Structure 1
Amino acid sequence: MAPVPSGRVHNLINIAAYSVLAAGALIATRQELVVLSPAQALQFTLAFAAGTFLLSPDLDLAEGRVDSKRHWGVLGVLWVPYGMLFSHRGWSHTWLVGPLTRLLYVALIAALVWGALLYLVPGMTLPQWPQTFTLQALWPPLLGYYLSQWLHLMADGVRPDHGARRARRR
């Protein structure tokens, strides 16, 4: 197997790809080839950045030194159980399930924190979704997040059928 890029190189690849994509989106928007609102662009950008710097597929190595874990600061310790759950380049390095595992893991942490807050501060209420929220609003952040993950996997040489091939071999 060929060597895989370091975390720093992964970040540079994603930054370069984002720069090209952003320039292309700006040109296409100005020429009215696509309609892209500033809110959609921001959502895509924030999700792409989170996927690149905070939610890298390499968090399955969270017991060691991983750039994404270090970007979490002291909260990086929260990723150690994730690294214990997933073997490196296993399910966490698949094209659809891998990124979803990290989103679900963040949701689990958020639910645990929220549950602890509700227990410690009785009467606290959940924030409400905006009334204008639609499922269609999830596309820009999901696209940004998944694209950042797929660029990482491509740089690692992971094919889109990686998880399916592993399941068939068992």
Structure 2
Amino acid sequence: MPSGRVHEALNLTALGLGSLAYLALGGSPEDPRALAFALAYLAGTFLLSPDLDLAEKEVRARRRWGLLGLFWRPYGWLFRHRGLSHTWVLGPLTRLGYLGGLLALLGFLVQGVLGFWGVEVRLRPPSFGLEALGFGLLGYYLSQWLHLVADGIWPDHDLKRLRRPR
């Protein structure tokens, strides 16, 4: 299986080629949809790699989180390597859900601590345009899918395991 560096090189090559094609077809680099796509693709490549499910082994994506990388260790305990976290639809959703849960917990703690000191804080999630959010999800999922293809996991991978031998 490819190393983390190989996964990143493949993803960056695909992003570069896709960006060249986008620009050649008259796309604008200032388009918010293109920015959302590129940022989510890079986040999926460098911060939210499917290999975060390796609980005992230190992976590049977890190191990039710095001290916050410790919060990803329970994710590795929840999902065995190349299990549900390495599926085409649910795998990327598990990482987004886990990250959303961590952010919600952090927001709750910040409100509680500041509320204890008498400071009222109303934290709201950022509002994105629905179109930019869709392009961001597309970029994130494409980065995840390229990782899975490099690992030899194709969309029908799970279906093959469900079939019974005759």
The counterpart of 1:156, out of the listed 115, 139, 151, is 151
Q: Which amino acid aligns with 1:15?
A: L
CA 1:153–1:38 in structure 2 vs 1: closer, same or farther (change >3 Å)? same
**CA distance in structure 1 between the partners assigned to 2:32 and 2:122 by the alignment:** 27
The counterpart of 1:113, out of the listed 106, 109, 120, is 106
**CA distance in structure 1 between the partners assigned to 2:157 and 2:14 by the alignment:** 23
Structure 1 residue 140 and structure 2 residue 135: aligned? yes
The counterpart of 2:58, out of the listed 65, 69, 79, is 65
CA deviation profile, 1:13-52 (whole Å, cap 9, x unmatched)? 001000000000111125xxxx886211111111001000
- Sequence identity percentage: 51
The counterpart of 2:13, out of the listed 6, 11, 16, is 16
Which residue is equivalent to 2:94? 101
List alignment gaps of at least 5 residues for structure 1.
none
Alignment length (residue pairs): 160
List alignment gaps of at least 5 residues for structure 2.
none
Which residue is equivalent to 2:3? 6
Query: Alignment RMSD, CA only?
Result: 1.8
CA 1:94–1:128 in structure 2 vs 1: closer, same or farther (change >3 Å)? closer
Q: Which amino acid aligns with 2:137?
A: L
CA deviation profile, 1:61-88 (whole Å, cap 9, x unmatched)? 0331101111111111111000000010
In the superposition, the TM-score normalised over structure 1's length comes to: 0.87
Which residue is equivalent to 2:84? 91
Matched-pair contact (CA < 8 Å) for 2:29–2:35: no
Q: Which amino acid aligns with 1:163?
A: D
**CA distance in structure 2 between the partners assigned to 1:52 and 1:25 by the alignment:** 20
Moved over 6 A (4+): none
